[in-house]
Amino acid sequence: MRFIFLFLLALLAFFNYELWYGDNGQARISDLQEKIENQQKLNDAAIARNNAMAAEVQDLRDGGKAVEEIGRLEQGMIKQDEIFVQILTPNS
């Protein structure tokens, strides 16, 4: 009877050691959970960026206003019969 009790106690100690300090123990699990949370944050940011790009692409496909806006801002284009005024600030 005593032998069975000691065997079961040793078995319990072994499994507890494996649970807390083993290769797949609690420390590794918490480390992996932290990595999962960080990756989920990166994925959420990428999804938001992709959604913004998809909306811009859809706007470029559907309407001419987006193309006109990009042309005006990036290329400095103006419409016919428009007056272009450029205000320069003195160099400081």
Write out pLDDT tens, residues 24-59: 777 788 889 999 999 999 999 999 999 999 988 888
Say how far apart CA 87 and CA 15 lie, in whole Å. Answer: 77
Looking at the predicted structure, is the pLDDT value of residue 92 above 70?
no
Q: For the chain, what is the largest distance between any 2 Cα atoms, rounded to a whole number of angstroms?
A: 104
Q: Which comes out higher in pLDDT, residue 8 or 75? A: 8
Work out the burial of residue 22: count CB atoms within 10 Å of its CB; fewer than 13 is exposed, 13-18 middle, 19 or more buried. middle
Tell me, what's the pLDDT at 37? 97
Q: Which comes out higher in pLDDT, residue 3 or 43? A: 43
Q: Which residues contact 67 (CB under 8 A, 6 or more apart)?
A: 60
pTM above 0.85, yes or no: no
Tell me, what's the pLDDT at 49? 97
Say how far apart CA 13 and CA 22 lie, in whole Å. Answer: 12
